[in-house]
Structure 1
Amino acid sequence: MNQTEKMANIQPVRLGLDSTFTFRCHKGVSCFTKCCRGINIVLTPYDIIRLKNRLQLSSDEFLAIYTKPQLFQDTDLPLVTLRLLDDEQESCPFVRDAEGCIIYEDRPTNCRYYPLGVASLAHKEGADDEGFYFFVNEPHCKGFEEEKDWTVREWRRDQGVDIHDEINSGWTDLIVRKRSFPANIKLTEKSKHLFFMVSYNIDKFKQFVFESSFLKRYDIAADVVEKIKTDEIELLKFGLDWLRDTLFDYRNFEVDPEKQTVSVRQKG
């Protein structure tokens, strides 16, 4: 049984931003790097941008070398997870026994949250839904025995996940929206391809925007065009807003009553 399977058997505790817990991880704990083995790390759009830039790879190269395609549970949306090493422990490719994480400053959001996780509720227009947090005390982890107290709010700020969550918020909202769709409503393959491109292949999305008829079909302010031309984070946010307005707005849906798939009415 790997770590992910073990975690599934542990009852999580629901937390708020001001809930407290005790935890500290460092090289001195006997379980150092054990949490980096046998895990399932979902990569967010911002994770991929940071990692591919850290490794000086294109989006295509990073996706091919370091990721595995999967589907989100309860949706038909594509996601990517970190490809683990084919060793006995199924190790993260960026972890070393003595050094720990060699890309620590650019580590994924899931790694930053540990030992916390974040969950989102069903989407409802106008709702004040920020999801909730959970804390799982894994038996093997000695970090829980360290005398360092945190609130969830303090931990998020210290680990930088508050910034990650802000940048990824548009993407998270799309996933929550899709989870709220009727179960028999599916996106077309073309729609899922667009979701994948915007979410995980920022290089290809940039080509799509600037090397096609995209800017002729959509009325985009000149200052926005200049901003997204040079800033990948702004381009990502722009792309997620575009996806929300084209793929995830019921007013733009055309449903095939026989196949129960959703296509998008093209604008412009």
Structure 2
Amino acid sequence: MLDIQHISKRIAFKSILEDIHFTLQTGRSLAVVGESGSGKSTLARIIMGLERPTSGRILFNGVPAPERKTAEFKSWYQQIQFVFQNTAASLDPRMTIFQSIEEPLCHLTKLRKNDRKVLVHEYAAKVGLPQPLLSSVPSHLSGGQYQRACIAKALIVRPKLLVCDEIVSNLDVIHQHTIIELLQSLQAEQQLSLLFITHDLSLVPSLCEDVLVMKDGRMVELIQSALLNSSQHPYTASLLGAVKLLGQHWHH
């Protein structure tokens, strides 16, 4: 499905990513983990077509990522949606939550107004957003509600892949787990593939089957999340150690 073929990225002779390669199959979930500066978000932006790799290429169902803003971009964004780390910039502050969730339908589909309205209400219900909030502006929402609205906006065009970049890092632990559970149920319901980018390994086992560990723009290892505890790599072990040091529960 998503085929990352030897992606490298350099900016002014500095290597940001070096030879990243993996395949994400339909309906599966992969976590990309590593400290800040490991290249995780750059990789996500390249997958979304927001940045170009220096070398290598990305295929989605055999089709290469579009290089210019052409009609191919429309098809790409219908299939691959992104929920950003900086959620405060994800929704237009001047638009109601209803308008924000509806926006991708206006740009990427030819649905009539009434059909769009039905879908907005359906997806608000799916992510647990109370109907009265749809007439609010983003500044009136809590952090958890804002993140739910962003997820509804991303999933309303029924993409095949959802890329989540640190989407729970600004939330407290209770809201983090609520969003993780929401993603789990939506993934099962929509046969969604999930690329979940995080620096927090404690969130991974309940959501993702596989884990790509990154350090300084390079792949450290690609491992099943159930086998993380037995990883022989010292960097993966140090990330796990940090999770346990913080007293977070490790489930697998």
What's the TM-score, normalizing by structure 2?
0.25
Q: Return the index of the structure with the highest Cα Rg.
A: 1
User: If each structure's strand is expressed as a fraction of its own residues, which one has the higher value?
Assistant: 2
- The structure, 1 or 2, with the larger RCO (C-alpha pairs under 8 Å, 6+ apart) is 2
